[in-house]
């Protein structure tokens, strides 16, 4: 197995297809944004926040998600939101990431009494990303053809479930208006409103909203509940990814594919854990997993792999060697290395690649395949022909970098 240096990993072209905006702020910026909006944080220093909130290890997924109440609070300010999107693109550019798909839940940031609606939220995020892209693509290294240009898409997240605890003005108001309805029906209504608005802004105003995601508590809230939402996305050519196989097993991944037309799967690691299969009709769990993995591999449904995040949120994974990434590689599944949350997980795309390459047997050809999936399985905001041309450009650059480091 070749030894890949940090310098090579940083320089090679990369993508990030599973990147939460509200989990990827600069910590110093979060503090400044909180001061600007008068938001109370548990600490007002970087070290203090690392000790109290943004840790290296979390006890469970709930503790991990607790961090988002602070980031979302400061992002309900459009100047802060645009800045966060801009800085996120810049941070990726600085480590050689050419393409990102930024995902977030716009409805967590809506605050109608203060004039913040869906359209304003989406324009603020797009303006920040577009500014960073424009600046980078006018640089000498891009204009001269030395490096591939930077590009991005936006994925909007619907929520599987949301507890009404005053965290989100949008959901608080929605639950009050529909107090006589079951919570899941309220959430489904919000999800349908989100997907309709996403298609409208994409088609009428050209905002590169390229996909729909389903995030939030997975266990107990199956993807099939949102079948109509995903049917609408499917019928309007909005591509589809879902958090599945993270806190719930193989059935979750199966449902995402069969009920929601998933083009990609977020996380997916628990689909290889037989103990997490709970359906009584599944007698031969090993066969079920084997058949599901073969189907996903054959259909080239990509899995967005977030190694550090999985280690932090699942106490059962005590060592990277226990991660099911090896099973994905062995089953020839199309895998894409992603960060999930740069701030909350204290990581970068380069760190995630280093973690993968240092701990799993990945020869250069397989590495190039993984890099290629990041571009070829993207929801690129253009035609298929344009995406192929962009991917080709990036992979030609990979070959040049690999040759310069003596791998070719």
> Could you tell me the pLDDT band of residue 1, with boundaries at 50, 70 and 90?
low
Q: CB within 8 A of 111, min separation 6: which ones?
A: 76, 169, 170
Tens digits of residue pLDDT in 230-248 = 999 999 999 999 999 887 7
- For the stretch 344-364, what's the b/e string if a residue is b when 16 or more beta carbons lie within 10 angstroms of its beta carbon? bbbbbbbbbbbbbbeebebee
Q: In angstroms, rounded to a whole number, what is the distance separating the alpha carbons of residues 338 and 17?
A: 6
Q: In angstroms, rounded to a whole number, what is the distance separating the alpha carbons of residues 62 and 206?
A: 36
- The pLDDT assigned to 163 comes to 66
Q: What is the mean pLDDT of the chain?
A: 94
Tens digits of residue pLDDT in 166-224 = 678 999 999 999 999 988 899 999 999 999 999 999 999 999 999 999 998 777 788 99
Q: In what order do the strands lie in the sheet with 239-244?
A: 14-20, 97-104, 151-159, 209-215, 239-244, 264-267, 302-305, 335-337
- The pLDDT assigned to 63 comes to 81
Q: In angstroms, rounded to a whole number, what is the distance separating the alpha carbons of residues 173 and 113?
A: 10
By DSSP bridging, strand 239-244 and strand 264-267 are parallel
- The pLDDT assigned to 317 comes to 82
* Least confident among 93-102, 274-283, 324-333, 334-343: 274-283
Tens digits of residue pLDDT in 6-56 = 999 999 999 999 999 999 999 999 999 999 999 999 999 999 999 988 988
- The pLDDT assigned to 279 comes to 87
- The pLDDT assigned to 226 comes to 96
Per-residue pLDDT for 265 more than 90?
yes
Q: Closest by alpha carbon to 369, among 330, 324, 336?
A: 336
By DSSP bridging, strand 14-20 and strand 97-104 are parallel
Assign 3-class secondary structure to 353-393: HHHHHHHCCCCHHHHHHHHHHHHHCCCCCCCHHHHHHHHHH
Q: In angstroms, rounded to a whole number, what is the distance separating the alpha carbons of residues 117 and 106?
A: 9
| Cα dihedral across residues 267, 268, 273, 278: positive or negative | positive
What Cα–Cα distance (Å) separates residue 104 from each residue in 63, 165, 313, 340?
19, 19, 19, 11
At 240, is the secondary structure helix, strand, or coil? Answer: strand
Tens digits of residue pLDDT in 286-320 = 999 999 999 999 999 999 999 999 999 887 788 99
- The pLDDT assigned to 333 comes to 98
Tens digits of residue pLDDT in 126-139 = 999 999 999 999 99
What Cα–Cα distance (Å) separates residue 320 from each residue in 10, 72, 312, 324?
21, 30, 11, 9
pTM of the model: 0.96
Contact 253, 268 (CB under 8 A): yes
At 225, is the secondary structure helix, strand, or coil? Answer: helix
Q: Closest by alpha carbon to 83, among 24, 139, 154?
A: 24
Contact 269, 243 (CB under 8 A): no
323: which 2 tokens?
A: 């991660």
Per-residue pLDDT for 164 more than 70?
no
Q: In angstroms, rounded to a whole number, what is the distance separating the alpha carbons of residues 198 and 208?
A: 10
- The pLDDT assigned to 165 comes to 62
When pLDDT is averaged across residues 347-368 and rounded to a whole number, the result is 97
Per-residue pLDDT for 92 more than 90?
yes
- For the stretch 234-272, what's the b/e string if a residue is b when 16 or more beta carbons lie within 10 angstroms of its beta carbon? beeebbbbbbbbbbbbbbbbbbbbebbbbbbbbbbbbbb
When pLDDT is averaged across residues 263-292 and rounded to a whole number, the result is 94
- The pLDDT assigned to 166 comes to 63
Domains observed in the chain: 6-404 (3.20.20.140)
> Could you tell me the pLDDT band of residue 278, with boundaries at 50, 70 and 90?
confident
Spacing of C-alpha 300 from chain mean position: 18
């Amino acid at each position: 197995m070749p030894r890949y240096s940090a310098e090579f990993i940083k320089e090679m072209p990369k993508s990030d297809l599973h990147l939460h905006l509200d989990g990827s702020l600069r910590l110093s910026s979060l503090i400044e944004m909180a001061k600007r909006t008068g938001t109370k944080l548990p600490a007002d220093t970087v070290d203090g926040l690392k000790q109290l909130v943004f840790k290296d290890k979390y006890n469970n997924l709930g503790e991990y998600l607790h961090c988002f109440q602070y980031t979302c609070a400061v992002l309900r300010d459009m100047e802060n939101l645009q800045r966060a999107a801009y800085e996120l693109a810049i941070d990726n550019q600085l480590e050689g990431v050419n393409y990102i798909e930024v995902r977030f839940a716009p409805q967590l940031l809506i605050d109608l009494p203060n004039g913040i609606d869906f359209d304003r939220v989406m324009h603020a995020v797009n303006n920040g990303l577009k500014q960073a892209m424009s600046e980078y693509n006018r640089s000498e290294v891009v204009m001269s053809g030395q490096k591939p240009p930077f590009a991005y898409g936006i994925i909007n997240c619907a929520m599987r479930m949301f507890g009404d605890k005053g965290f989100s003005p949008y959901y608080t108001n929605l639950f009050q208006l529909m107090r006589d309805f079951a919570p899941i029906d309220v959430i489904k209504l919000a999800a349908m409103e989100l997907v309709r608005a996403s298609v409208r802004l994409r088609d009428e105003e050209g905002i590169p909203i390229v996909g729909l995601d389903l995030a939030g508590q997975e266990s107990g809230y199956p993807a099939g509940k949102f079948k109509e939402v995903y049917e609408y996305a499917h019928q309007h050519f909005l591509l589809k990814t879902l958090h599945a196989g993270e806190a719930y097993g193989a059935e979750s991944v199966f449902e995402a594919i069969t009920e929601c037309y998933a083009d990609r799967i977020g996380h997916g690691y628990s689909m290889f854990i037989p103990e997490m299969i709970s359906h009584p009709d599944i007698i031969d769990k090993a066969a079920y997993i084997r058949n599901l993995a073969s189907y996903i591999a054959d259909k080239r449904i990509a899995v967005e792999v977030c190694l550090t995040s999985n280690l932090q949120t699942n106490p059962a994974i005590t060592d990277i060697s226990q991660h099911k990434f090896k099973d994905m590689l062995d089953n020839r599944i199309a895998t894409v290395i992603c960060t999930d949350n740069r701030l909350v997980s204290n990581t970068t795309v380069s760190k995630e690649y280093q973690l993968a390459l240092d701990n799993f047997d990945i020869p250069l050809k397989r590495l190039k395949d993984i890099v290629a999936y990041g571009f070829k399985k993207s929801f690129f905001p253009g035609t298929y022909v344009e995406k192929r041309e962009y991917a080709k450009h990036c992979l030609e650059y990979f070959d040049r970098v690999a040759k310069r480091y003596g791998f070719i």
